[in-house]
Amino acid sequence: MYIIIGLGNPENKYVGTRHNMGFDVVDRLAYQHNITMDTVKHKALLGKGVISGQKVLLAKPLTYMNLSGESVRALVDFYKVTPADIIVVYDDIALDLGRIRVREKGSAGGHNGMKNIIQHLGTQEFVRVRVGVGEKPPRMDLADYVLSHYKAEEMPLVREGVVDAASAIELILEQDAQAAMNRYNG
């Protein structure tokens, strides 16, 4: 079984913000594959299903971004999976809006949610799908930027990023991370 973890913040006021890109991708996967997100356990909203022939658990940690590792650790321990069986999807300000990048391992790159996951798992060796939310404007606070809502004119690129990230995850499950990297990291 694979656990696909989308990072974000749980309150309604964060819906549609840049920092909730991971939640948006998990919601897209749930919709496309008729997976009902209706269980709250292990500090996450969960849904079980099948994607690309693989059993999956979709997870949206409810701990707030900076404590995402608490939920991920609980999920890994309860379901007895290894870090090789998880895929984390999240926002990245270093990528242009809507661009995605797949990696098999790596540092947190300054992302506090990822720092917390790496700290709780004790490894950087897990697949991640980063979705670009664009670079913050000069003189704007980073927290204010990632918690801001998209402008109307940005929405086509946002939707494209969500669709591409969901497709990349399907390809990872169908083949492997390398196949997704070859297709999407151009």
The catalytic residue positions are 19
Beta bridge partner(s), residue 50: 55
Q: Which of 104, 107, 100 is nearest to 127 (CA)?
A: 104
Q: 21-32 and 155-174 helices cross at what angle (nearest 10)?
A: 60
Beta bridge partner(s), residue 49: 56
Angle at 11 (CA atoms; ends 98, 2), nearest 5 degrees? 60
Only one residue has tokens 């060796």, namely 125
Q: CA neighbours within 13 Å on the CB side: how many for 67?
A: 11
